Structure 1
Amino acid sequence: MTEEQEVPLVCVDLGSNSFHLLKASHFKGAFRILNKAKERVRLAEGLSDNYELTDAAMARGLDCLAKFREIIGNLPASRVRTVATYTLRRASNGDAFLKAAKAVYPYPIEVISGAEEARLIYHGVSHTQPGNDSRLVMDIGGGSTEFIIGRGLETRRLASLGMGCVSFQQRYFEGGKLSDSAFNKAETAAAQELETIEQSYKDEGWQQAIGCSGTIKAVQACIQAKWPGESAITLKKLKALRKICQQAGDVAKLKLPAVNDERIQVFPAGLAILIASFKALSIEALTFSDAALREGLMFQMAPGAGHLDPRDRTTLALAAQYHVDRPQAMRVRSKATRLFSQVKKDRELEALLGWAAELHEVGLQINFHGIQRHSAYILENSDLIGFNQEQQLLLATLVRYSRKGLKQFALPRFNLFNDQDAMLMLRVLRLSILLHRRRQNLRLPELTLSLTDDKTLVLSCPAIWLKRHELVSADLHQEVLYQAQAGWPLVIDAKGA
């Protein structure tokens, strides 16, 4: 693909309240919208107290995906990106939904972290509303609310808080009752969530506040109907809307201009979150942006976008934070990607292997003993911006089993990666670390790696070199035994012996 070709792209956002599809063509740096689709699936409504999705919620989601499949047509997977947010992040049986989705929707579904969701939201807003002012962006979803501070295209602070219009409607407006007590409880709960970011966000400051999402769009529509000629959202107007809700007394009796019946069902909870946010962050006025997460995805997918992959930045930042030996990390990365390319042609898998190599020693700051366990813990539990949930788990898994024996090896259940690829990446990473164990810029001989069947790896290297480097030779033969523990045949082929 080049910028001279018109390229159709599709972004799908599996939100906690609604599923959204955006289809557009990209030509010479500009987008032309081809189709938009939205369906309120109320996924978060089907999340039980123990975070299990009900069969009914799953069925609604799968039915929507089948419809989206028809809209997408026959586009290849490289032109379709689908992300899932809060509800599928939290659902204990999310894997069951993702597995079932494969039967009706042939495209990979990425479950993304709250921080990554926030980054993509800001990316969508900043590309559609360019400017150099420092800005606060907030997006109220069905299960979470994201807050981002940034300037231009760069983010400075990212937060995803566990409060959404669907979850709060169920929790605090039970039976649809719109009492003063219900609003107070919802606003207090939201204020408690906001405590974690309140001071740091105020200290950072911003010049402009922008809101996106269905809740904020509905609030703006109410304001424009009630106060003609005005569109800015203020705390005074929000309080007036709360009074209208309380006067209705019940969501079934609530009538709001320009707000459809589906949105009204979760409007009070979204309004409570918005009021609490204005109070906690001292927001004076908020304007609405129609762009959000899916537009952020679209701009990131555009051919010739020329942006640095955010995963590169994340890797560099985490390596710096934990004082990783950069030259050593790059030695291992170079060897790992070179060997992997000899047995598998896949740029994305090669890139992921490279990032795992760069970060395989992040746990060294904790303790050298069990470094692989410490490193894996850091990778699995950090906010790795740009990586989706499965990519992050894959990195942690590769690092966790990058050294020592493999008797306890267990591969997690992946939906985006097949087991054979994950195991191949791990085996290559282990060999690369072993070959650079001396941590020196020594020139290694020409090494070749081949896969003779589904499992048997053959590492070919000069016999004379192995003879001169007895420790490396011993380590390689120990690695043969280690990989055999996991049922992986490894052959060290001494050329010229």
Structure 2
Amino acid sequence: MTAPASNVIASVDLGSNSFRLQVCENHNGQLKVIDSFKQMVRFAAGLDEQKNLSEEAQERALSCLSKFGERLRAFRPEQVRVVATNTFRVAKNIGQFIPKAEQALGFPIEVIAGREEARLIYTGVVHTLPPNGDKMLVVDIGGGSTEFVIGSDLQPTNTESLPLGCVTYSMRFFQGKIGQKDFQAAITAARNEIQRISKLLKRTGWDFAVGTSGSAKSIRDVMFAENPQEADITYAGMQKIAARIIDAGSTKKARLEGLKPDRLEVFAGGLAVMMAAFEELDIQKMMVTEAALRDGVFYDFIGRQLNEDMRNQTTAEFQQRYHVSLNQAARVAETAQHFMESICHAYNTPVQELAHWQQYVRWAALLHEIGIDIAHTGYHKHSAYILEHADMPGFSRQEQSILSLLVLGHRGDVRKMAEPINGNQMMWFAILSLRLAALFCRARLPLELPPFTQLRLDEHGKGFMLRISQSWLDEHPLVAGALEYESEQWQKINMPFTVQPQ
């Protein structure tokens, strides 16, 4: 099967209500949609009280992903980005599901944090609806979470994500006959959640409000069908829709003109959340845009291809925030990448996979000392904690976990890494490369490795071997001693590390 042209890219948005696949041609930053698929998977509806996904929900999802996988079969890894949202974040058994999902789809899945989801949504909106210097409030009601973003240019100033969505609220409040008390209970519950961020958002302020995604569009469509002169969402208009649903006893019986059949089961929940947002944030009216998370993924994707990767900007901001020595970080990064390239070439690692891991090694090296800003003792643990739990725009949760593990493992007892790494060979390569880089750069002075310094697998393929000049080691006894300690560390986990002087 012939691979698509290099300017063809695809995004997959695994939401709590629907899964979407969109294929676009990139013409110098202008996107042209050439194919799209959408399936209402109702993934969040499969969560039980313990936050475990049912087998039925998993089967629905896998069936959809197999279809997406067929469409993407000829695509190269660099042409596809897959992001997953709230249900993937909260499901306790998602770890068992993701490998099956990735196998069905054929591409890795990024579970993105709520604020990263908010940033990507805003990225999609700001590229399709430029605010021209005015502040805009973007509200995106998804299946399991709602994102609130304020911004006036390409980067938002506020990004928030709350656990309320059209699927979860429809299941929680609107399972039987819908009455006035049900609607009020749903609105009150949503307002209680939004109160956590309302003061901050109001303090920042905005000039106009924008709604995105299915719930906002459905509410707009129903209001437009009732009154074609009204193009925006208003509170009065939503009150009329809610009254019709309450009088009829259900969304289906209300026979709302303009409402698509696939939104019937989740419309009331989305409406209640939107009414709560209007009440709590004093929103007067809201325009609706077709832009959504998938558009933000595309524009962020293009930015990465143009060497404008948001992850690099985040890394630089973290270095500044935590007062990192830029010269030392750069030295460690360059040395770590040298060792990583050396061992991966010896292992015949595919070029694409090497490039992928070289990025992780570089980011980890640039950020490995951020914990020193908290305390020098055990700083690698502080660094790892920050990288695991901080909001890092551009990075997925999986990427943050990888960086956290690399930084945690760059010094100290290697045995602590055996369980979390669980046999991932590329992770071991990266950790050893970072450990050696920190070791060689310990003097915090400009470093030039001796010629032909190479990191290799040993002859049995179960350990590592470092080839280095004996005369250089003689001139650097501190490094030589540290290498002996390193050898002792790797022996503890039956992965021998030996130094072979040349």
Structure 2 stretches lacking a partner, 5+ long = 345-350
After TM superposition, the structure 1 = structure 2 runs for residues 44-55 of structure 1, keeping only pairs within 5 Å, are 44-55=44-55
The answer on whether the counterparts of 1:411 and 1:419 sit within 8 Å (CA) in structure 2 is no
Trace 1:195-210 onto structure 2 (pairs within 5 A): 195-210=195-210
SS of the aligned residue for 2:258 comes to coil
1:436 and 2:444 aligned: no
Q: Measure how far apart 1:452 and its partner are.
A: 3.3
Match of 1:464 among 467, 471, 493: 471
Q: Secondary structure at the match of 1:403?
A: coil
Is this contact kept in 2: 1:176–1:252, CA < 8 A?
A: no
How big is each residue's C-alpha offset from its partner over 1:100-153, in whole Å with a ceiling of 9 and x where there is no partner?
224422111111111111111111111122242221111100000011111221
Pairing 1:323–2:330 present: no
**Range with bigger deviation, 311-320 or 294-303:** 294-303
1:330-377, Cα deviation, whole Å (9 max, x unpaired): 221121122222233422211111111111122223322222222211
Q: Which residue of 333, 358, 361 corresponds with 2:369?
A: 361
How far apart are the structure 1 equivalents of 2:356 and 2:89?
23
1:322: Cα distance to partner?
2.3
Residue 493 of structure 2 corresponds to residue 492 of structure 1: no
- The equivalent residue for 1:260 is 260
**Counterpart in 1 of 2:110?**
110
Q: Secondary structure at the match of 2:285?
A: coil
Paired residue secondary structure (1:153): coil
In the TM superposition, 1:271-350 aligns within 5 A as 271-302=271-302, 306=306, 308-344=308-344, 345=351, 346-350=354-358
Match of 1:422 in 2: 427
Per the alignment, residue 158 of structure 2 pairs with 157
Residue-pair matches, total: 487
Counterpart of 1:410 in structure 2 is 418
Q: Aligned partners of 1:224 and 1:366: how far apart in 2?
A: 55
Instruction: Report the CA distance shift for 1:94/1:464 in structure 2 as closer, same or farther (over 3 A).
Output: same
**Distance in structure 2 (CA, Å) of the matches to 1:318 and 1:219:** 40
Q: Which runs of 4+ in 1 moved over 6 A?
A: none
Task: State the AA in 2 paired with 1:493.
Answer: Q
Once the two structures are TM-superposed, the CA of residue 28 in structure 1 deviates from its matched residue by: 3.8
Unpaired runs of 5+ residues, structure 1, are none
- Aligned residue for 1:154, secondary structure, equals coil
- What's the offset of the Cα at 1:29? 3.5
State the identity as a percent: 37
Mark the CA change 1:411 to 1:494 in structure 2 (over 3 Å): closer, same or farther: same
Q: Is the 8 A contact 1:51 1:92 kept in 2?
A: yes
SS in 2 for 1:407: helix
TM-score by length of 1: 0.93
SS in 2 for 1:409: helix
Higher deviation after alignment, 314-323 or 424-433: 314-323
Give yes or no for contact 1:25–1:33 (8 Å, CA) kept in 2: yes
Alpha carbons 2:102, 2:109 under 8 Å: kept: no
Which residue number corresponds to residue 247 of structure 1? 247
Gap change, CA 1:48 and 1:306, over 3 Å in 2 = same
Greater helix proportion: 2
Give the equivalent residue in structure 2 for 1:211. 211
Provide the residue aligned with 2:136 in structure 1: 135
**Alignment partner, residue 395 of structure 1:** 403
The verdict on how the C-alpha distance between 1:65 and 1:195 changes in structure 2, with shifts beyond 3 A counting, is same
Shifted more, 199-208 versus 421-430: the winner is 199-208
In the other structure, the counterpart of 1:31 is 31
- More displaced, 322-331 or 475-484? 322-331
Offset of residue 250 of structure 1? 2.5
- The letter of the residue matching 2:415 is K
SS of the residue aligned with 1:410? Answer: helix
Corresponding residue for 1:178? Answer: 178
Instruction: Name which of 446, 449, 455 aligns with 2:454.
Output: 449
Q: How has the CA–CA distance of structure 1 residues 390 and 447 changed in structure 2, closer, same or farther, with 3 Å as cutoff?
A: farther
Higher mean C-alpha deviation, range 121-130 or range 426-435: 121-130
- Distance in 1, matches of 2:266 and 2:293, equals 20
Query: Are the aligned partners of 1:449 and 1:457 in contact in 2 as well (CA < 8 Å)?
Result: no
Using structure 2 for the length normalisation, give the TM-score. Answer: 0.92
Q: Give how far 1:395 is off.
A: 0.6
Question: Contact between 2:18 and 2:43, CA under 8 Å: does it hold in 1?
Answer: yes
User: How many angstroms apart in 1 are the aligned matches of 2:333 and 2:320?
Assistant: 16
CA distance in structure 2 between the aligned counterparts of 1:139 and 1:367, rounded to whole angstroms: 39
Pairs within 5 Å for 1:88-99: 88-99=88-99
Deviates more, 1:457-466 or 1:370-379: 457-466
Q: Secondary structure at the match of 1:39?
A: strand
| 1:235-285 Cα deviation digits (max 9, x unpaired) | 222222222221122344232111123212111111111111112222222
The 3 A distance-change label for structure 1 pair 6 and 308 is closer
Query: What code does the residue aligned with 2:326 have?
Result: R
1:413 Cα deviation from its structure 2 partner? 6.7
Check conservation: 2:304, 2:310, Cα contact below 8 A: no
For residues 39 and 54 of structure 2, the distance between their equivalents in structure 1, rounded to whole angstroms, comes to 18
1:424, distance to aligned residue in structure 2 (A): 0.5
Corresponding position of 2:348: none
Cα drift, residue 72 of structure 1: 2.7
Q: Are residues 1:479 and 2:480 paired?
A: no
Q: Would the alpha carbon gap of residues 44 and 385 (structure 1) be closer, same or farther in structure 2, given more than 3 Å must change?
A: same
Query: Take 1:399 and 1:116, find their aligned partners in 2: how far apart are those partners?
Result: 22
Partner Cα separation in structure 1 for residue 370 and residue 304 of structure 2: 33
Q: Which amino acid aligns with 1:429?
A: L
Distance 2:472 2:141 in 1: 61
Aligned to 2:414, what secondary structure does the other structure show? Answer: coil
1:382 paired residue number: 390
Equivalent position amino acid for 1:481 in 2: E
Contact 1:136 1:206 in 2 (8 A): yes
Contact conserved, 1:177 with 1:251, CA < 8 A, in 2?
A: no
Deviation at 1:183, TM superposition (A): 1.5
Question: Does the aligned pair in 2 maintain the 1:409–1:486 contact within 8 Å?
Answer: no
C-alpha distance in structure 1 between counterparts of 2:447 and 2:101, whole Å:
49
Pair 458,280 (structure 1): closer, same or farther in 2 beyond 3 Å? same
Q: CA RMSD in A?
A: 2.0
1:146 aligned onto 2:147: yes
- 1:427 CA displacement: 0.7
Once residues 411 and 294 of structure 1 are traced to their aligned partners in structure 2, the CA distance between those partners, rounded to angstroms, is: 35
